[in-house]
Chains A and B, each alone.
Chain A
Amino acid sequence: MMRIFIADDEAPARDRLKVLLGDIAPELPTTVVGEAKNGLEALEALPASGADVVLLDIQMPGMGGLELARHLAGLERAPAVVFVTAHDRHAVEAFELNALDYLLKPVRAERLAAALRKAASEGPAPREQLARAAQAPREYLSVVERSRIVLVPVRDIIFLRAEQKYVTVRTREREHLVEESLVALEREFSGPFVRIHRNCLVARAAIRGFERATGSDDVHWQVVVDGLAERLPVSRRQWPLVREQIADQ
C-alpha cells in the first residue's frame, strides 16, 4: 500500500486529490498518511508520517513546494515528490527541463495514477536536479537532526564556511553543519553574501567593518561581523573585490 502525503493550501484541492485516490484505489491502493496546508506545516509533519510519495502544490503560503522539496531531499528516507500546479508556467518549464514529474490542476485520475507509479519506481529526485529547477534562492537552509528537519533562515546567517565535507552555517546563536557545496551556495546566494576567502562567504548585512590582522604573512585584513567576537580573515586575492563590493553599498 503506497503511503501518500498531501500538501496544498486550498482545502477543496486536497479533497479532490483524496477523491481521486479513492477512484484509482482498485488498481493502485494508497493510504493518505498526512496533510498540510502550507510548506512549514508539511515540513513539520512529513518526516514522521513515513510517506512514500508527497503530492506537493507549488504555490503555498509560508514556503512554496519547490523549496519544500529541496529540504525534504535531505531526509534519510526522503519521499518521492510529485508537484501539482494550476498554472505556474515558469515552474512547469523548469520541471520539463529537469525531468521532474508534475500534475496540472484540475488533476485527472489516470494522470495521477501514472505519476504515482512513476514516483514509486524512481524514488526521490536528486537534490541537484531540484536545485536546477528552482527559480529563486531558498529562504532557509535545512539540517536534519534526529530525522527532524531544522530550518535556518538565510537572513539569520552571518557566515558560511567550508570545512572538509560540510559547510558550517553560523548564526548569532549557534552553528549548523550542512551537506552542501560552498560553490553552489555562493551561486544561489550571490546577492546577500560575499566571498571573502576561498572557504568563506559572509552576509553583507552582517559586515560591520575591517581590521588589519597582525602576525600572519598570508592574511592582511579581517572582517568584523555583527554579534560575533570571531574575526574572519579576508584572503589577499579577495581583498580588492571585497573592498570594492562593500564600498558600493
Chain B
Amino acid sequence: MASIRQNAYPDLLPDFRNLAVMARVLLAVNGAALAASLYAAPELSDALERFVQAAAFLEPLLLVALLALFAFSPWLARLPYAAGCAAVVAAVVALAGLYHVATVSIVPDIAPSLVRTLLLAGLLAASLLAYFRLHTKAYSPALAEARLQALQARIRPHFLFNSLNAVLALIRRDPRRAERSLEDLADLFRTLMSDARQFVRLADEIALLERYAAIEHLRLGDRLRITWDLDSAPPDALLPALVLQPLLENAIYHGVEPGTAAGDVLVQIGRRGDRVHAVIENPYIEAEQRRAGNRMALENVRERLALFFDAEARLDARVLGERYRIDIEIPYRAARP
C-alpha cells in the first residue's frame, strides 16, 4: 500500500481485565439506565422505581457480560480492531438475547420485548467501545512523544558526545572495556528506537537500566553510586517500555552530575502481592532547579502509565529532605512464559 499511514498507533480494544475499565463500564451502563428512567417517567418518584426495576434486570446481565469479556480478553486482543469490536458487540447482543429469554421464562413481565433488549445491548456496547477509543486517542500523543523524547534525550549531545568521548579515552588503555561500552551504547539505542507502545518484561527493562548505568559509570566514575535493590523484583512482570530508564536518567542528570560530591542513587524494585513497586531516589540539589526540561520526561511516564493501566497505576514524585524520590506502582501482570 502506497499511502502514508496517518496513525502510527492503530486502535486497540480496552483492557477488559483492568478494574478501572470495568468501573467505567458499570458507571456508564447504570448512568444510561438512570437517564432512560428519568426520561420515561412522568414523575420524579416514578423514575426511581423504574430505575430499580431496570437495574434488577440489567445488573446480572452486565456482570455476566463483564465476566465473559474478562475471560476472553486475551483472545479478543489478538483480533484486528474492527473484528474485535464486532466480536464484543456480537457477544454482548448474544448474551443479552439468552439472558432475556431465560429471565422472561421465569418472570414473564420483567422485560417486554426481545428486540428492544437486543438493540439496547448492541447500542450500549458500541457506544462504550467508541468512548474507549476516544479515551485512548486522547492519550496517544504521549506514546509518540515518549519515543521522540527518549530518542532526543539520548541523541541529546550532552549524553552522546560525552559517552563517545569517554569511550575514546578508553580505547588505547582498556580496549575490552571500550568494546563493552560500545555494545552497551548500541543496546541502549536499539531499545530507544523500538516501539514505546510495547510492553516489556521487567527483567529486560532492568537489563537496560544496568547498561545505561554502566555508560554513566564510565563517565562519572566514583561520583555515581547506585544501590540496586532488586531481590524481590519479579522478572516476568510486564510494564510499558521506557518507564524506568528515563527516570534513572533524570536522577543522574539532576541529582549526581551537578554535585561536587559523590551522589547516591537508589533503585528499588519489588513485588507486593499483586502490585509491582519501584522506587528511584537521588540527592536533591536545589540550585539544580534551573536546569529544567526533564519534568517533561516525568509527565510523559505518568501519562503513559495512565494510558496502559488507567487508574490502577500510581506515580508520586516528591522531595524528602535532601532526597528526591519517585514511587511507581503498577499491577503485577506476568508475561506468558
The residues of A with any CB-CB pair to B shorter than 8 Å are 9-13, 15-16, 19, 38, 40, 59, 61-62, 86-87, 89, 104-107
Is there an interface contact between B169 and A15, defined as CB atoms closer than 8 Å? yes
Specify which chain A residues have a CB less than 8 angstroms from the CB of B166 in the assembled complex.
10, 12-13, 16
Specify which chain B residues have a CB less than 8 angstroms from the CB of A61 in the assembled complex.
257-260
Is there an interface contact between B165 and A106, defined as CB atoms closer than 8 Å? yes
Bound-state Cα–Cα, A89 to B164, Å: 18
Specify which chain B residues have a CB less than 8 angstroms from the CB of A15 in the assembled complex.
169, 173
Q: Which of A9, A12, A38, A107 has the most B CB atoms < 10 Å from its CB?
A: A12
Bound-state Cα–Cα, A10 to B257, Å: 10
Is there an interface contact between A105 and B169, defined as CB atoms closer than 8 Å? no
Chain B residue total in the interface (Cβ 8 A): 22
Q: Which of B156, B221, B223, B257 contacts A87 (CB 8 A)?
A: B156
Specify which chain B residues have a CB less than 8 angstroms from the CB of A107 in the assembled complex.
165
Q: How many A-B residue pairs have CB under 8 A?
A: 58
- Say yes or no: A11-B221 contact (C-beta < 8 A), given A38-B260, A106-B164: yes
Is there an interface contact between A16 and B257, defined as CB atoms closer than 8 Å? no
Q: Interface code B157-197, partner A: CB below 8 Å = 1, 0 otherwise? A: 11001101110111011000000000000000000000000
Q: Which of B157, B218, B223, B258 contacts A12 (CB 8 A)?
A: B218
Q: Can you spell out 25 A-B residue pairs with CB atoms less than 8 angstroms apart? A: A9-B223, A9-B257, A10-B165, A10-B219, A10-B221, A12-B165, A12-B166, A12-B170, A12-B221, A13-B166, A16-B166, A38-B260, A40-B260, A61-B257, A61-B258, A62-B260, A86-B161, A86-B165, A87-B157, A87-B161, A87-B162, A105-B165, A106-B164, A106-B165, A106-B168
Specify which chain A residues have a CB less than 8 angstroms from the CB of B218 in the assembled complex.
12
Q: Distance (Å) between the CB of B154 and the closest chain A CB?
A: 13
Specify which chain A residues have a CB less than 8 angstroms from the CB of B156 in the assembled complex.
87
Please list the 6 inter-chain residue pairs (A to B) with the smallest Cβ-Cβ separation, ordered nearest first: A87-B157, A16-B169, A12-B169, A12-B166, A86-B161, A105-B165
Q: Distance (Å) between the CB of B249 and the closest chain A CB?
A: 15
Specify which chain B residues have a CB less than 8 angstroms from the CB of A11 in the assembled complex.
221
Specify which chain A residues have a CB less than 8 angstroms from the CB of B168 in the assembled complex.
16, 106
Q: Contacts A12-B218, A61-B259 known; list 19 others, CB within 8 Å.
A: A10-B165, A10-B219, A12-B166, A13-B169, A16-B166, A40-B260, A59-B158, A62-B260, A86-B157, A86-B165, A87-B156, A87-B161, A87-B162, A104-B161, A105-B164, A105-B165, A106-B161, A106-B164, A106-B168
Q: Distance (Å) between the CB of A28 and the closest chain B CB?
A: 20
Asked if B220 is at the interface (CB within 8 A of a chain A CB), the reply is yes
Q: Distance (Å) between the CB of A92 and the closest chain B CB?
A: 10
Is there an interface contact between A105 and B221, defined as CB atoms closer than 8 Å? no
Q: Which of B258, B259, B260 has the most A CB atoms < 10 Å from its CB?
A: B260
Specify which chain A residues have a CB less than 8 angstroms from the CB of B257 in the assembled complex.
9, 61
Bound-state Cα–Cα, A89 to B259, Å: 22
Bound-state Cα–Cα, A104 to B220, Å: 19
Specify which chain B residues have a CB less than 8 angstroms from the CB of A86 in the assembled complex.
157-158, 161-162, 165
Specify which chain A residues have a CB less than 8 angstroms from the CB of B158 in the assembled complex.
59, 86-87
| B290 to chain A: closest residue by CB | A136
Bound-state Cα–Cα, A9 to B260, Å: 9
Bound-state Cα–Cα, A104 to B162, Å: 10
Specify which chain A residues have a CB less than 8 angstroms from the CB of B220 in the assembled complex.
10
Bound-state Cα–Cα, A104 to B260, Å: 23
| A15 to chain B: closest residue by CB | B169
Bound-state Cα–Cα, A106 to B178, Å: 15
- Say yes or no: A10-B162 contact (C-beta < 8 A), given A61-B260, A106-B168: yes
Is there an interface contact between A19 and B165, defined as CB atoms closer than 8 Å? no
Specify which chain B residues have a CB less than 8 angstroms from the CB of A89 in the assembled complex.
157
Specify which chain A residues have a CB less than 8 angstroms from the CB of B260 in the assembled complex.
38, 40, 61-62
Bound-state Cα–Cα, A104 to B161, Å: 9
Specify which chain B residues have a CB less than 8 angstroms from the CB of A62 in the assembled complex.
260
Specify which chain A residues have a CB less than 8 angstroms from the CB of B172 in the assembled complex.
19
Specify which chain A residues have a CB less than 8 angstroms from the CB of B259 in the assembled complex.
61
| B161 to chain A: closest residue by CB | A86
